[in-house]
Amino acid sequence: MSSSSTTTTTTRLLMLKASDGVTFEVEEAVATKLGAINNMVEEEGSEDLICLPNVNGKFLGMVLEWCKKHANNNTNSDKGNDEVNKWWDKEFVMDLDQNTLYHLLMAADYLSGTELVDLLTEKVASMIRGKKVEEIRETFKIKSDFLPGQEEEIRKKNSWAFE
Amino acid sequence: MDHPPSNSHLPEPVIHKILRLLPPQDAIRASATSKLWRSAWISHPVFDFDEASLPFKLDAFYDFANRSLALWLNRCDNRVNMEKLSLCADVTNGESFSRFVELVAIATSRNVKVIELQTCSEFYYLIFHNSHLWSLLSACKSLDVLSLKHFKFYLSSSLPPFSSVRKLRLSGISIDENSVRNLLSSFPSLEDLVVECCSGFDELRVSCPKLETMEVSIWDDPPQKVVIDSANLRSFFYRKAFRCALGSVSFSSCKLLTTLAMECTEFGTVNAIDEYLSQIPLLENLTLKSCKTPESIQISHSNLKSLKLQNLLAVVEGGD
C-alpha cells in the first residue's frame, strides 16, 4: 500500500553515476531540474541510484552545479534573484572553451535540461553571429564533408548571405 | 579513444535551436559549414522572411520565400509540421497580397503553430472580412499564436472562428470599432491578448471568456476607452505612448485580477489609484511606472503583496 500522504519534508537524496564511475549525491529537487531525471524519479519504485552512461563526470558535475544554482533560487521567487541568476549564467558560459561547451550541451540535451540547453545554444549562437563560414568551422572544429562543388553551389544560391 | 570533439555532431533538434537564434544571414552561413548543418537548416521548421532585411524586393522576395519553403516541403514529408512562419513584406496591391497569402497557405497546410504577419509598406493594406486569409487561418486547427502588424481591417461581419488560437497580438492595426468587435468575437479560446498602438476606434471592448492576460498600449490622445468583461482575467498591463491623463479603463467584472501594471499614465487626484483598486478585490501585484501622480497618492489594499513604483513624477507616500 503506497500511502502518498506520507510525503515528508525531508529531501530525498539521489546518487547519480557518470560514465566514468564518478558519483554525485544530490537533492531530488536539484536533480529534477533535468527532465530525464525527473521522469525516472516519477516512476514508481524508482531507485535512488541513477546511472548515466552517456555523461562523463566532469560535465555531469557542471550540469549539476547549474541545477543547484537554479533549484535554490526557485524556492524564493524573488525578482531580485532573477537578476542574480542571469549574472551567474553569464559567468557560467563566459569562458567555456569549445570542447567543454560541446560536451556540456550534449549532456544538457541528453538529460533534457531545457533551460540549460537554452543558455548554451544562445552561447553557441553568439559565437556564430557575424562570422564567416571558415571562421565558424574553425571556432567549432567542424570539418566540411561536402562533395566537391556542393559548397560552391550553396554559396552561389545564397550569395547575398556571403557578401 | 580521444575523438576530436566537434559541434558538427550535435543532434538536429539542438542545431535547430541554435539556428532559431540567428539572423537568416548567419544561419545560412552556418548551414554552409557541413552536411549535418546544411540538412538541419533545410529541415528547420521555423521560417522568418523579412523583406526589409533581405536583399530581395517585391516579386524577387516572394520567389525567394517560395524557393525556401519548396526546399523544406521537399525534404520533410506530410508528417513534419511547421512551427512558425514569420512574414514581413511590402503588400501594396492585390497581386502582392495574393502571393503573401500563398505563403501563409503553405504554412497552414503544414499545421503551423505560430504565424506572424506584418507589412512594411508605406500604406497599410486593407483587408476585408471575406478575405481568403481569414478562412485559411480559421481552418488551421494547429494555430496557437497569431500576430498581425501594420494592416488595415474593415470587417463588416464576424469572421470564421479561430478556435485554436490562444494568443493574439495586434500591433499598429487601423480598424474601426465595429470591426474590432467582429475580430475579437472570432477568438473563443483566446487566453492572451496584446493590443498595441492600434487606431480607428474610440472604445476597445474585450469579452473573450477565457482571457487571462491582456496588454494594451495606447497611442492616441485622447486615449481610447478600454472595457474588459473577461471574468477570467488575471493580469492586466496598461501602457501609454505619451504621458497623458488616464483614459477610461474598466475591468469591474474581472474579479480574479491579481496583477495590474500601469505605465505612463497620469493620475489626477490623491484617490485616483485607490478608486481603481477598489474594483479589484484580489489584486496582489501592482506596478506603476513612469506615471504622473499628485504630491501624494494613497494606496490601500488589503490583499496587496507587491508594490512597485518606478520613475514616478511626484513624491509618493503611501502603502499598506
Best of B29, B44, B308 to disrupt the A interface (most A CBs within 10 Å) is B29
Phi–psi pair at A85, nearest 5 degrees:
-60, -40
A121 occurs within a structural domain:
yes
Count of structural domains within chain B:
2
All residues of chain B having their beta carbon less than 8 Å from the beta carbon of residue A130 are 26
Do residue B249 and residue B117 come from a single domain? yes
A7 occurs within a structural domain:
no
All residues of chain A having their beta carbon less than 8 Å from the beta carbon of residue B11 are 109
B248 occurs within a structural domain:
yes
Q: Could you give the ipTM of this predicted complex?
A: 0.89
Do residue B201 and residue B251 come from a single domain? yes
Do residue B24 and residue B81 come from a single domain? no
DSSP structural state of residue B315:
-
Do residue B141 and residue B186 come from a single domain? yes
Rounded to an integer, what distance in angstroms lies between the CA atom of residue B237 and that of residue B225? 14
CB of B6 less than 8 A from some CB of A: yes
Rounded to an integer, what distance in angstroms lies between the CA atom of residue B145 and that of residue B178? 23
Q: Which helix (H) or strand (E) holds B12?
A: helix B12-20
All residues of chain A having their beta carbon less than 8 Å from the beta carbon of residue B30 are 128, 133, 136
Q: Which residues contact B217 (CB under 8 A, 6 or more apart)?
A: B195, B196, B197, B239, B240, B241
CB B225 within 8 A of CB B216: no
B7 occurs within a structural domain:
no
Do residue B75 and residue B192 come from a single domain? yes
Q: Which residues contact B253 (CB under 8 A, 6 or more apart)?
A: B228, B229, B230, B231
Q: Which helix (H) or strand (E) holds A114?
A: helix A114-128
**What does A135-155 look like in DSSP terms, one character per residue?**
HHHHHHTPPP-PPTTHHHHHH
A151 occurs within a structural domain:
no
The alpha carbon of residue A94 and the mean position of all alpha carbons in its chain are separated, in whole angstroms, by 15
- Across the interface, do A128 and B55 touch by the CB < 8 Å criterion? no
What 3-state DSSP class applies to B30? helix
Rounded to an integer, what distance in angstroms lies between the CA atom of residue B304 and that of residue B306? 6
A4 occurs within a structural domain:
no
CB of B17 less than 8 A from some CB of A: yes
Nearest residue of chain A to residue B23 (CA atoms): A129
Indicate yes or no: pTM above 0.90.
no
CB B224 within 8 A of CB B206: no
Q: Residue B153 sits in a domain of what CATH number?
A: 3.80.10
B1 occurs within a structural domain:
no
Do residue B232 and residue B109 come from a single domain? yes
B3 occurs within a structural domain:
no
Q: Can you give the residue range of the structural domain that contains B30?
A: 12-44
Per-residue pLDDT tens listing for chain B (320 residues): 344 445 448 999 999 999 999 998 999 999 999 999 999 999 999 999 999 988 899 999 999 999 999 999 998 988 899 999 999 999 999 999 999 999 999 999 999 999 999 999 989 999 999 999 999 999 999 999 999 999 999 999 999 999 999 999 999 999 999 999 999 999 999 999 999 999 999 999 999 999 999 999 998 777 889 999 999 999 999 998 776 666 788 887 888 999 999 988 887 777 778 877 888 889 999 998 888 888 777 888 888 999 998 888 764 444 44
All residues of chain A having their beta carbon less than 8 Å from the beta carbon of residue B38 are 146, 154
Do residue B200 and residue B254 come from a single domain? yes
Rounded to an integer, what distance in angstroms lies between the CA atom of residue B256 and that of residue B266? 25
A8 occurs within a structural domain:
no
A101 occurs within a structural domain:
yes
The set of cell numbers assigned to A136 is 565558424
Count of structural domains within chain A:
1
Q: Residue A113 sits in a domain of what CATH number?
A: 3.30.710.10
All residues of chain A having their beta carbon less than 8 Å from the beta carbon of residue B22 are 125, 128-129
**What does B210-262 look like in DSSP terms, one character per residue?**
T--EEEEEE-SSSPPEEEE--TT--EEEEEEEEEEE---EE-TT-TT--EEEE
B249 occurs within a structural domain:
yes
Do residue B110 and residue B19 come from a single domain? no
The set of cell numbers assigned to A80 is 531580485
Do residue B16 and residue B100 come from a single domain? no
- Across the interface, do B14 and A98 touch by the CB < 8 Å criterion? no
CB B262 within 8 A of CB B290: no
A3 occurs within a structural domain:
no
- Across the interface, do B34 and A144 touch by the CB < 8 Å criterion? yes
Model confidence over A48-64: pLDDT tens digits? 899 999 999 999 999 99
Q: CA separation (Å) from B87 to A56, B20, B112, B205?
A: 43, 15, 13, 28
Q: Can you give the residue range of the structural domain that contains A93?
A: 13-142
A157 occurs within a structural domain:
no
How far off is chain B from A82, nearest CA to CA, in Å?
16
Count CB pairs under 8 A between chains A and B: 96
Do residue B57 and residue B123 come from a single domain? yes
